[in-house]
Amino acid sequence: MTIFRGMVFGVLMMSAQLFAMDAPSIRLVEFLSGLDNPVALADDGSGRIFVVEQKGVIRLAQDGQVSKAPFLDIADRVKSGGERGLLCVVFHPQFATNGRLFVNYTSTVGGHLETIISEFKTMPHSATVSATTERIILRFDQPYENHNGGQLAFGQDGMLYIATGDGGSGGDPHNHGQQLNTRLAKILRIDVDHKEPFAIPADNPFVDKAGALPEIWAYGMRNPWRFSFDRQTHQLYCGDVGQDKWEEVDVIEKGGNYGWSAREGFHDYTPQRKNGVIIDPIKEYPHGDGNNCITGGYVYRGKTIPDLQGIYVYGDFGSGRIWGLKWDSHALTFDAQLLHPHINISSFGEDRDGELYVLDYGGGKVYRITQ
């Protein structure tokens, strides 16, 4: 018993020392302004920065100025408002030679609300993309107006990962989260290079499971608005927006079940819905004091802020707080508030050099994180 108590005391002392580390000192510097509800930022690999406006427009930023002419304008086919709209753009890993880019948006052009994942093509150094080059890769119905997910990202494996919400309303009324026969409430993984409209990677976890959709990579998500890969470790981090009480950060694993709607964060919600072993979040925080809607971010791998290296930076849309954490595959080794700029943080962005940006939805601005 004495030895056990000594071990526990040592672990607690070590944890206290780790969490007592000083938080890196950061600040926000205005990078762009004059934007209309910006929701996403991307780098095409050349250092050019692009900002997504929810209404259906992508703008190119050059020399600290937003281009007057849109890079891409598909507002005529985008249903925007609330949580709907043009939600993300991602450039193919070989964009410099193939000119391919992909977007995620909601539309009612077909007579009902649906999510559409599309590819567009342009010349790699062009300042515009023709909307007529659209090739729809994937589409699925949205039963309600909210919880549309929205993130797209290419992994180190060259596959395209797609975040989808549970379909909306409240409480996941159709139990999409714990079912494997729907694309809703999932992280999907597809191959956009070897078959049209896409191929299913042979190593996806549910390829051979009867009744399961083979494009599913992970499930049990509520509204995974933003996820990202750590460019050094390739670990996938996701900020999943909670229901009434808890927001969470998940580390996404192949075939993982992240609990919704059997659980919200670490807590039972409708436990009778559980379908498989649930993976708990690495971090949760409660609603209150303005906190109510997590915005997932990025692990910092830039050079401007050495003290921020390896820290996952994320925020909250409601309160405007920015936090950082470090995860060592078993436990948090750092967890602290970094800044409270009091803005509507709709998204974070990462450029070619690993530097990070913060998007202010209501203010129409993009800020760069610096020391």
pLDDT digits (tens, 9 = 90+) for 225-261: 999 999 999 999 999 999 999 999 999 999 999 999 9
Going along the chain from its start, the domains and CATH numbers come out as 35-293 (2.120.10.30)
Mean pLDDT within 108-118: 97
Tell me the pTM: 0.94
Checking if the pLDDT of 118 tops 50, the result is: yes
Using the predicted structure, report yes or no on whether residue 21 has a pLDDT greater than 90: no
Note the pLDDT of residue 321.
Answer: 98
Q: What is the mean pLDDT of the chain?
A: 94
Residue type, 227: F
E runs forming strands in 144-293 = 152-154, 160-163, 186-190, 216-219, 226-229, 236-240, 246-252, 263-264, 267-268, 283-286
User: Are 135 and 193 in contact, with CB atoms under 8 Å apart?
Assistant: no
Stretch (H or E) spanning 151? none
Rg of the chain in Å (alpha carbons): 20
Instruction: Give the per-residue pLDDT at 25.
Output: 95
Say yes or no to pLDDT of 171 above 70: yes
pLDDT score of 6 more than 50:
no
State yes or no: pLDDT of 15 exceeds 50. no
- What pLDDT, in 10s, does the model give residues 316-343? 999 999 999 999 999 999 999 999 999 9
